Amino acid sequence: MAQERLVTEITPKSEDFSRWYLDLVRRAELADYSPVKGCMVLPPYGYALWELVQQHLDRRIRETGARNAYFPLFIPKSLLEKEAEHVEGFAPEVAWVTQGGSETLEEPLAVRPTSEAIICTMFAKWVKSWRDLPLMINQWCNVVRWEKVTRPFLRTTEFLWQEGHTVHATAAEAEAETLQMLEVYRRFATEDLAIPVYHGPKSDAERFAGAAQTYAIEALMGDGRALQAGTSHNLGQHFARAFGIRFEDRDQQLQYAWSTSWGVSTRIVGALVMVHGDENGLVLPPKVAPTQIVIVPILAGAARGEVIEAARRILEVLRAAGLRVELDQRDEQTPGWKFAEYELRGVPLRLEVGPKDVAKRQAVLVSRLGRQKHFVPETEIPARAQALLAQIQAQMYESALERLRQGTMEVDDYQQFKELMESSRGFLLAGWDGSAEVEAQIKAETTATVRCIQGPAPADARCVVSGRPAKYLAYFAKAY
C-alpha cells in the first residue's frame, strides 16, 4: 500500500526505461518537444530546476576565482579553422549562418558549438604579461551541435551549458586547473545533485577535439548505462599557438601560454532523472528541487476554513525559514491526485494538514523516499522539515552510491565482459593495454567505451582483451 504506484500515464520504468524517461520528462514538465528539429523547450518547472543547478555550480566556479563573461554566439569560419583537430572534430556538427537580412555573407558564421575559437581570439588580445595570468573566465550560454538523433537533455541540437576557459603561465598550472575543475564537478555532482561519479582521464579516442588531455566525471543511470556528466580539458599549448596567446614572462621573454576549458550542460538534468527517478516519477535532491515542500490541505468537512488558515500559516513560516514551498489549495483536484502529481514531479517533502491535524496543532510530513509519515507539532515544522530535507539529500546520495557499487564489476575475462555488457551492463573495471585496437574492438563488439581511466594497472594485471600486460585499469560502459 505504502508503495502503490499512483502514476499511470507513464510507461513503467521496469518495462521500458527509455520510454519511461521520455514520458516522465514531458509529463513532469521538465522539457517539451518543439517544432524545431532536435531543439527542446524548457517549461517553467524544468527551467527552474536548471536555474537551481546553475546557482550551485556557479557558486563553486566563482570560488575558484573564475569570473563570468559573455562572448559572441557566432564564430567566423576562419577562426574555427585555426586549430586543426578542433575544426575536424566539430565541423560535422556545425550550424552555419550564411545569410544576414538580404545579404549573403562573404564568410559563413558558425553558431558556436563551443567557444574556444572566439574566446582564445579575445584572450590573445587581453594577455600581454605574466601579470595578466592566470586568466579565468566562465560563460553561461547556449550552444548548437547539429545532431542526427536527439533525446531531451541528453543530446539536443541546442543546449545550455557553462564553459570555462583559462590561461596559465606554465604547463603545471594548466594541469592543476584542469584537475581542480574536475574536482569541482565531482563535488558538485555528489554534494549538490546526490550523484556519485567515477572520475579520471579519457582515452585518446574520447578526447575533446584539440585537447592534450580530457578528464571526465561519469555517472551510472538506472538502466546500467553511463553518462558523462562533466568534462575538464587540458588544452596544452594547442590553442595558444593556434590563436597566438603569448605573454612576457618575468624575464621579459615572450612565451606561449597554456590553456584549459571545462563544461557542464543541461545533460546533467537528464542524469538527475535517470539516477534518482522511480516508478512514481522524479525524485529531486532537496538542494536543487524547485519545490522542496508542497503543502496539501485536506479540505473535507466543516473545518475547511481553519485548515486553509493553518496551511497558509505554515506556508509563511516555511518560506520565512528560506525553504522553497508551494501550497496547492485547488478545489478541482483531490488530495490523492495531488499526492501523485507532486510525487511525479519529485518534490522531496509533502506536508498534509487536515481537520484532525488542526485540532492537534500538528501536520504530517511525508518523505518522497518511502513515504514515511512524520507527525510534527506546528511549532517544530521548520526545523523538522529542514532536518528531513538534509536527511533525504544524504539518503539519496547513499542509495545512488550503493547502486553505483552494485553496478560496478571487476572483470578479467572478455567472455564475461561481453555477457555482462549484454545483460546487467553497468561499469566494468578491467585491465587495458592502452591500445587503440583493443578499445576499438570492445566498441565494435559490445558498443561499450572507455568512460575513464581509474589509474595505472597493478604490475600483474592483464588486458581483458589482448592478454598483454595491462597499462591501465579503466571503467568501461555503454554510454548515453
Instruction: Give the binding site for its own copies (CB under 8 A).
Output: 32, 34-36, 39-44, 46-48, 50-51, 67-76, 79, 91-103, 108-109, 111, 118, 121-122, 125-126, 131, 137, 141-142, 144, 146, 157-158, 160, 332
In the complex, least distance from residue 38 CB atom to its own copies, rounded to whole angstroms: 9
Amino acid, res. 423: S
Taking the C-alpha atoms of residue 208 and residue 232, their distance in angstroms, rounded to an integer, is 9
65 sits in the region (left: phi over 0; alpha: psi -120 to 50; else beta) called left
For residue 366, give the C-alpha cell. Answer: 511525508
In the complex, least distance from residue 322 CB atom to its own copies, rounded to whole angstroms: 15
For residue 15, give the C-alpha cell. Answer: 518495462
For the chain, the C-alpha Rg in angstroms (whole number) is 25
CA 394: distance to chain centroid?
Answer: 18
Per the CB < 8 A criterion, the answer to whether 437 and 204 are in contact is no
In the complex, least distance from residue 359 CB atom to its own copies, rounded to whole angstroms: 33
Bridge partners (DSSP) of residue 349 are: 293, 367
Per the CB < 8 A criterion, the answer to whether 306 and 358 are in contact is yes
408-410 vs 427-432, strand pairing mode: parallel
In the complex, least distance from residue 121 CB atom to its own copies, rounded to whole angstroms: 6
For residue 344, give the C-alpha cell. Answer: 511525479
In the complex, least distance from residue 265 CB atom to its own copies, rounded to whole angstroms: 13
C-beta of 121 vs 214, nearer to its own copies: 121
Closest of 375, 351, 353 to residue 292, by C-alpha: 351
Phi, psi (rounded to 5 degrees) for 66:
-75, 150
297 sits in the region (left: phi over 0; alpha: psi -120 to 50; else beta) called beta
Residue with cell 519529485: 346
In the complex, least distance from residue 395 CB atom to its own copies, rounded to whole angstroms: 29
Phi, psi (rounded to 5 degrees) for 391:
-65, -40
C-beta of 146 vs 378, nearer to its own copies: 146
C-beta of 93 vs 223, nearer to its own copies: 93
In the complex, least distance from residue 470 CB atom to its own copies, rounded to whole angstroms: 38
For residue 170, give the C-alpha cell. Answer: 606554465
In the complex, least distance from residue 98 CB atom to its own copies, rounded to whole angstroms: 5
Taking the C-alpha atoms of residue 434 and residue 60, their distance in angstroms, rounded to an integer, is 34
In the complex, least distance from residue 90 CB atom to its own copies, rounded to whole angstroms: 10
CB atoms within 10 A of CB 139: 20
For residue 424, give the C-alpha cell. Answer: 546487467
In the complex, least distance from residue 253 CB atom to its own copies, rounded to whole angstroms: 19
Amino acid, res. 265: S
C-beta of 24 vs 124, nearer to its own copies: 124
Amino acid, res. 358: V
In the complex, least distance from residue 420 CB atom to its own copies, rounded to whole angstroms: 35
Bridge partners (DSSP) of residue 137 are: 67, 165
In the complex, least distance from residue 70 CB atom to its own copies, rounded to whole angstroms: 4
CA 186: distance to chain centroid?
Answer: 11
Q: Give 202-218 as a DSSP string.
A: PPGGGS-TT-SEEEEEE
Burial of 56 per CB tally in 10 Å (0-12, 13-18, 19+): middle
Which H or E run contains 123?
Answer: helix 116-126
C-beta of 262 vs 432, nearer to its own copies: 262
Residues 6 or more apart whose CB falls under 8 angstroms from that of 252 comprise none
